[in-house]
Amino acid sequence: MVSWGIATTRILHMKIYIDGKYYSETTAKISVFDHGLLYGDGVFEGIRAYNNRVFKLDEHIDRLFDSAKAILLKIPLSKKQIMRAVSRTCWLNRVRNGYIRLVVTRGVGNLGLSPFNCKRPTVIIIAGKISLYPPKMYRRGLDLITVPTTRVSPAALNPAIKSLNYLNNVLAKIEAIHGGVLEAVMLNAQGYVAECTGDNIFTVHGGRIFTPPVSSGALCGVTRQIVIQLAREHLGVEVQESNMTRHDIFTADECFLTGTGAEIISAVKLDGRVIGTGKPGEITTQLIKAFRELTQQEGYPIAP
């Protein structure tokens, strides 16, 4: 059994934002009647800060509002107000390089499923630290397995919605860990590769880069978009979004995963097949370097 999960370092005397007020770790609480808890009814974002700035905040806030729109949840703050609140929460927690969890739940309602009894959505911002995989994995690359739990069909719950209903991904994560690895490839109902439990997936074949299209059941990852742009600008390579099978990964020269938590990490084995040389490849390494540089250069300033 692999015991490594997501490690979040909790800062002593944390200041956690709930609906415009700040609470300590012990006093930050929400109601048992909040539909975020009762039904997983809500949306969220995982965001990173680097070098005193919140990275790709616009993109995360846009996706949050798109997710909220799709579930008919009206966020009680403007995009600008949320961005300021995120920045201020980092400032108050002395987070200059770290991880931000932004959550908007349906709010307090009654024991019925209907969201229309919920008066006001709850907005929560936590600023701390994250390390998704052990540092060793970034040097040697991750082993993956394909898990039986498939990605939810877009007709059931569109995977483009970053909702609080992550049980699909949690079950896949459990299957990965039971299988002795830290991350899993999830297929869609048609048997094509969609993504991993919390990361998007890319392959490299003969210098060309591929990733499954969002329509295959992948989240439109912020890091995924950055990699598509970095490949174009730094490598002069257009990433091709096309249906991907396990066979495409078995026979790839390189494979890597992208996500806010994971950043960019090489994957070197899938279901017992060694991918490429079995070591992080040249293109992956170049993209990691370009990504690191970008994280140091831009973002929304952290300020009081």
Cβ proximity to ligand PXG, 181 vs 219, nearer residue: 219
Q: Binding to ligand PXG by residue 217, rule CB under 6 A? A: no
Residue among 56, 162, 173, 269 flagged as catalytic? 162
Q: Which stretch binds ligand PXG (CB under 6 A): 72-80, 116-124, 207-215, 255-263?
A: 255-263
Place of tokens 């590769």: 193
Cβ at position 46, least distance to ligand PXG in Å: 3
Helices (H), ranges, the chain: 35-39, 57-70, 79-92, 135-140, 167-178, 222-230, 246-250, 282-297
Q: Which stretch binds ligand PXG (CB under 6 A): 64-72, 117-125, 177-185, 253-261?
A: 253-261
Place of tokens 């059941």: 217
With beta carbons less than 8 A apart as the criterion, state whether 225 and 167 touch.
no
Cβ at position 36, least distance to ligand PXG in Å: 16
Quick one: which of 224, 244, 287, 288 contacts ligand PXG (CB under 6 A)?
A: 224
Cβ at position 291, least distance to ligand PXG in Å: 11
Quick one: which of 169, 188, 203, 284 contacts ligand PXG (CB under 6 A)?
A: 169
Give the H/E segment covering residue 82.
Answer: helix 79-92
Query: What backbone phi and psi angles, to 5 degrees, belong to 281?
Result: -85, 175
Quick one: which of 181, 199, 228, 299 contacts ligand PXG (CB under 6 A)?
A: 199
Q: Binding to ligand PXG by residue 106, rule CB under 6 A? A: no
Burial category of 129 from C-beta neighbours within 10 Å (exposed 0-12, middle 13-18, buried 19 and up): middle
Pairing of strands 240-241, 254-259: unpaired
- What is the token pair recorded at 188? 């869609």
| C-alpha span between 89 and 85 (Å, rounded) | 6
56 catalytic? Reply is no
Place of tokens 């009647």: 33
Residues in contact with ligand PXG by CB under 6 A are: 6, 46, 169, 195, 198-200, 219, 221-224, 258-261
Q: Mind telling me the catalytic residues?
A: 162
